[in-house]
Amino acid sequence: MKKFKSLPELIATYESLDWSGTLFTNKQSWEISPTKTEILLLEGDDELEDLTEDQLPRLAQTNNASYLLDVEIFKSVIDFQRDRTHNSNIHDYVHALNYYLENDDFYDPS
């Protein structure tokens, strides 16, 4: 398990993330301040298949986190935002991620 203290820290290293990992976060914290919320990266069978009765990875539950996105999807959302607006800031990324979480689609106002 890897812990990222904030979304900016995760975005700074997102290109090196293994596409098969999964991201988890505390959804209440995310709703209040997504840029400052800790994000967990779980990778591999040992971390992702050790499940609780609620079918949540034990490491996520221990850290009071729930599913955010698969790394593959996360990277796609960030790439799409970067390609659409080359000088995107952290708030643009938050908007793109939240849009994807709510609509299961990429944000493209054009």
Helix (H) or strand (E) holding 22: strand 22-25
So what's the pLDDT on residue 109? 77
So what's the pLDDT on residue 108? 80
Name the pTM for this structure.
Answer: 0.93
What are the pLDDT digits (tens) for 23-42? 999 999 999 999 999 999 99
Q: Are 98 and 74 within 8 A, CB to CB?
A: no
Structure-block tokens of residue 3: 């812990």
So what's the pLDDT on residue 25? 98
Structure-block tokens of residue 10: 């995760």
The pLDDT tens digits along the chain (110 residues) read 999 999 999 999 999 999 999 999 999 999 999 999 999 999 999 999 999 998 999 999 999 999 999 999 999 999 999 999 989 999 999 999 999 999 999 988 76
Structure-block tokens of residue 49: 């298949």
Q: Which residue carries 């944000």 as its tokens?
A: 107
Q: Which amino acid is at 6?
A: S
So what's the pLDDT on residue 22? 97
Q: Report the C-alpha gap between 90 and 57 in whole angstroms.
A: 28
Closest CA to 68 of 47, 88, 41: 41
**Mean pLDDT for the chain overall:** 95
